[in-house]
C-alpha cells in the first residue's frame, strides 16, 4: 500500500508541477511581466493546497481506494487542456493551472492511508517515504524542458496524462484501505471546522507552511531566481532546481526516521535553524560557485527533513479518525506557504531589481519557527506526565 500510494503521489505531483519549468518559455511566448509569470506558476500551488482540505475530509469518509483513482483521473483533464488547448492564452493558462491544482491534493489522500497501515512507532518513517513522492516535482524539473524541446510542447503533457490514466486503473485494482477502517460520518464542512479549531491543527499548519512551503516556493520559483540573479540559461536553471528538489526529497524520509528515533520536535528545531543560517548567507548573494550552491543545498536538505518531521508529529498528535482532515488543513497551509513567496519575490524584484529582502524575510521566518517549536511546543506529541 505504501509503494502504490507513493507512486501515485509522485505521478500526480509531476502533473502538478508541469507549468513551473516552462515559466521562462511562457514568459517569452505570452509577453508576461515578472508578476504575471509568478502568478502563472503559483496558481496550481494555491489550488492544490486549498483543495487538500475537502479532499482530506472526503478521504476520512470514503477511503483512499476511491479517492486516489478518482483524483488521478480528474487531473488528466487539465493536463491535456494545457498541452493542447490553452497554451497560447494567458487567461486560459491560468484556468488550466487552476484545475491542475487537483494533482496537488493527493497528498491529503495518501497520508491517512499510510498512517492507518503502520503502528505509531513506524509512522514517521513510513510517512517520510510516502512524502518522497514529492519527487514528482524533480521529475518535472529534469524532463519537461528537454521533452518540449525534443518532441514539442504537447509531448510532456501527453506523457503525464497517459501515466495518470494507467495509475488510476492500477490503484483501483491494487489499493486497499486498512482493515478495520471506520468511515467518518457527518458533513464535510462541520468536520473541517471542528478540525480547524484543534490547537494541534494550527500549530502543525504554521510549521508546515514554513518547511514544506519553503520547499514549494523554491521548486517553482528557483528557475526564475537563478536566471535573474545569476544569468543562467533556462536549461541550467532547471537542472539546478531539480538537484535542489531531489535533495529535499531524499531528506524527507530522513526527517521521518530521525523523528521516530529522537522525536520530531528537536528535528524541527535543528532544521529551521539551518534554514535561518543559510537563507542569511543566500541573502548576501555570494557567487553561485561554491558558496551559493552550498547554501541552497543546505536549505533543501533542511526543508525536506522538516517536512518529514512535521507529519511524524501529526501522526503522534492528531486525534484518531481525523488524520485525513488534519492532513488536509496542514497540507493546505504548506502549499499556501509556497504560494505567497513567489509573488512576493516577483514584486520585490520588480521594485528593487534584486531578491535580497525576500531571502532575509525567509531567514527571519525560519528563526521564528525554530523559536516557537523550541519554546511553544515542548509537550506536543509527548505523553502527558503523571501528576
End-to-end C-alpha distance for the chain, whole angstroms: 41
Dihedral of the CA atoms 183, 184, 189, 195 (nearest 10)? -130
Half-sphere exposure in the Cβ direction for 16 (13 Å, CA): 33
Looking at domain 2-174+187-376, which of 3.40.630.30, 1.20.1250.20, 1.25.40.10, 2.160.10.10 is its CATH number?
A: 1.20.1250.20
DSSP string, 261-276: HH-HHHHHHHHHHHHH
| Burial classification of residue 101, based on how many CB atoms lie within 10 Å of its CB (0-12 exposed, 13-18 middle, 19 or more buried) | buried
Distances (CA, A) of 27 to 31, 85, 348, 383: 5, 17, 18, 52
Give SS3 for 233: coil
Helix (H) or strand (E) holding 252: helix 234-262
Average pLDDT over residues 214-234: 80
Average pLDDT over residues 222-250: 82
Share of the chain above pLDDT 70, in %: 96
Assess whether pLDDT exceeds 60 at residue 40: yes
pTM: 0.79
Q: What is the total residue count of the chain?
A: 387
Please report, for the chain, the start and end positions of each structural domain, with discontinuous segments joined by +: 2-174+187-376
Residue range 329-352: mean pLDDT, rounded: 78
Query: pLDDT averaged over the chain?
Result: 85
What's phi and psi for 186, nearest 5 deg? 105, 165
Looking at the predicted structure, is the pLDDT value of residue 215 above 50? yes
2-11 in b/e form (b: 16+ CB < 10 A) is bebbbbbbbb
Amino acid at each position: 500500500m505504501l509503494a502504490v500510494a507513493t507512486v501515485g503521489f509522485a505521478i500526480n505531483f509531476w502533473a502538478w508541477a508541469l507549468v513551473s519549468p516552462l515559466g521562462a518559455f511562457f514568459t517569452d511566448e505570452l509577453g508576461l511581466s515578472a508578476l504575471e509569470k509568478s502568478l502563472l506558476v503559483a496558481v496550481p500551488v494555491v489550488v492544490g493546497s486549498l483543495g487538500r482540505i475537502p479532499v482530506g475530509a472526503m478521504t476520512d469518509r470514503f477511503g483512499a481506494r476511491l479517492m486516489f483513482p478518482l483524483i488521478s483521473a480528474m487531473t488528466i483533464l487539465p493536463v491535456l487542456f494545457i498541452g493542447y488547448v490553452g497554451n497560447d492564452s494567458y487567461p486560459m493558462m491560468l484556468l488550466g493551472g487552476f484545475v491542475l491544482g487537483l494533482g496537488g491534493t493527493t497528498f491529503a489522500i495518501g497520508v491517512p492511508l499510510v498512517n492507518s497501515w503502520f503502528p505509531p512507532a513506524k509512522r514517521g518513517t513510513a510517512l517520510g517515504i510516502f512524502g518522497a513522492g514529492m519527487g514528482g516535482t524533480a521529475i518535472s524539473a529534469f524532463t519537461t524542458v528537454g521533452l518540449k524541446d525534443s518532441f514539442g510542447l504537447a509531448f510532456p503533457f501527453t506523457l503525464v496524462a497517459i501515466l495518470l490514466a494507467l495509475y488510476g486503473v492500477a490503484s483501483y485494482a491494487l489499493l486497499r484501505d486498512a482493515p478495520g477502517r471506520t468511515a467518518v460520518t457527518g458533513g464535510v464542512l462541520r468536520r473541517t471546522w471542528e478540525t480547524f479549531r484543534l490547537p494541534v491543527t494550527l500549530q502543525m499548519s504554521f510549521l508546515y507552511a514554513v518547511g514544506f512551503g519553503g520547499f514549494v516556493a523554491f521548486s517553482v520559483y528557483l528557475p526564475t531566481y537563478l536566471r535573474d540573479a545569476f544569468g543562467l540559461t533556462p536549461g541550467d536553471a532547471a537542472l539546478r532546481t531539480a538537484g535542489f528538489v531531489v535533495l529535499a526529497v531524499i531528506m524527507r524520509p530522513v526527517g521521518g526516521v530521525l523523528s521516530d528515533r529522537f522525536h520530531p520536535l528537536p528535528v524541527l528545531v535543528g532544521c529551521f535553524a539551518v534554514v535561518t543560517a543559510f537563507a542569511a548567507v543566500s541573502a548576501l548573494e555570494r557567487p553561485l560557485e561554491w558558496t551559493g550552491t552550498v547554501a541552497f543545498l543546505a536549505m533543501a536538505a533542511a526543508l525536506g527533513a522538516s517536512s518529514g518531521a512535521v507529519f511524524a508529529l501529526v501522526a503522534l498528535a492528531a486525534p484518531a479518525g481525523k488524520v485525513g482532515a488534519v492532513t488536509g488543513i496542514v497540507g493546505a497551509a504548506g502549499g499556501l506557504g509556497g504560494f505567497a513567496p513567489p509573488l512576493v519575490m516577483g514584486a520585490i524584484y520588480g521594485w528593487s531589481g534584486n531578491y535580497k529582502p525576500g531571502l532575509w524575510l525567509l531567514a527571519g521566518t525560519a528563526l521564528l519557527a525554530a523559536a516557537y517549536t523550541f519554546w511553544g511546543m515542548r509537550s506536543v506529541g509527548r505523553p502527558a506526565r503523571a501528576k
